[in-house]
């Protein structure tokens, strides 16, 4: 791995662990095993390196989401696969955690890949809900964009609850609750037709 790649990967790990404010150039260099001045040889400074790291993380997050959202199965099964995919719950979301970092939020440049990733996931989920509505899989009247926002909020909120309690159980409970609300109603549970009376 080249020095620039080691710097990007080290910055990614530290941003996930400590956030932007808590990640110093010295810590990045130490984690990367890079010499003094290496950062400024390959990048303009900490913001430039952080942007490269955030973009890399955002790309990986979208790819992981696309693998299940664009995969096989019904719309419900694909949303379920997204919610149940393997995550390091107690570390939190590597992108979602950046939304709580004041310096990232204050920087249009650093915030852009974060916003783009969250918007991409929301739009993809909304499209899948609309597919399910067209197929009659979800209850009529559901709003695709509202359900997509609920899915994203459940995932991000689940991370917060799990980190607060020190247990992934809170994340799992939030996901199970949402899935039970979204679960398609089996055909045999639909309201039966009232038979016509004969004279």
Each residue's pLDDT expressed in tens, for the chain with a length of 199 residues: 799 999 999 999 999 999 999 999 999 999 999 988 888 889 999 999 999 999 999 999 999 999 999 999 999 999 999 999 999 999 999 999 999 999 999 999 999 999 999 999 999 999 999 999 999 999 888 999 999 999 999 999 999 999 999 999 999 999 999 999 999 866 534 444 444 433 3
Model pLDDT, residue 82: 97
- Give the Cα separation of 55 and 116 in Å (integer): 10
Domains along the chain with CATH numbers: 54-183 (1.10.357.10)
Show Cβ contacts of residue 90 under 8 Å, excluding neighbours closer than 6 positions: 162, 163, 166, 168
Model pLDDT, residue 195: 44
Model pLDDT, residue 187: 55
- The structure's pTM equals 0.87
Model pLDDT, residue 37: 85
Q: Do 20 and 109 form a contact (C-beta atoms < 8 A)?
A: no
Model pLDDT, residue 35: 86
Q: For 22-43, give the DSSP string.
A: T--HHHHHHHHT--TTHHHHHS
Model pLDDT, residue 196: 43
Instruction: Give the pair of three-digit tokens for residue 75.
Output: 């719309």
- Which helix or strand (DSSP H or E) is residue 144 part of? helix 144-165
């Amino acid at each position: 791995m080249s020095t620039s790649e080691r710097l990007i990967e080290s910055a990614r790990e530290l941003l996930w662990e400590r956030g932007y404010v808590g990640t110093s150039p010295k810590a990045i260099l130490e984690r990367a095993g890079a010499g003094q001045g290496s950062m400024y040889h390959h990048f303009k400074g900490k913001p430039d390196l952080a942007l490269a790291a955030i973009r890399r993380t955002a790309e990986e997050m979208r790819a992981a989401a696309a693998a299940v959202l664009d995969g096989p199965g019904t719309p419900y099964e694909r949303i379920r696969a997204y919610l149940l995919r393997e995550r390091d719950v107690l570390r939190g979301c590597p992108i979602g955690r950046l939304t709580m970092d004041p310096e990232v939020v204050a920087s249009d440049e650093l915030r852009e890949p974060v916003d783009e990733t969250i918007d991409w996931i929301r739009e993809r989920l909304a499209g899948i809900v609309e597919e399910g509505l067209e197929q009659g899989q979800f209850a009529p009247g559901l709003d695709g964009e509202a359900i997509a926002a609920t899915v994203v909020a459940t995932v991000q909120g689940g991370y917060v609850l799990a980190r607060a309690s020190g247990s992934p159980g809170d994340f799992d409970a939030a996901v199970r609750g949402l899935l039970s609300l979204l679960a398609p109603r089996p055909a045999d549970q639909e309201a039966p037709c009232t038979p016509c009376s004969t004279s």
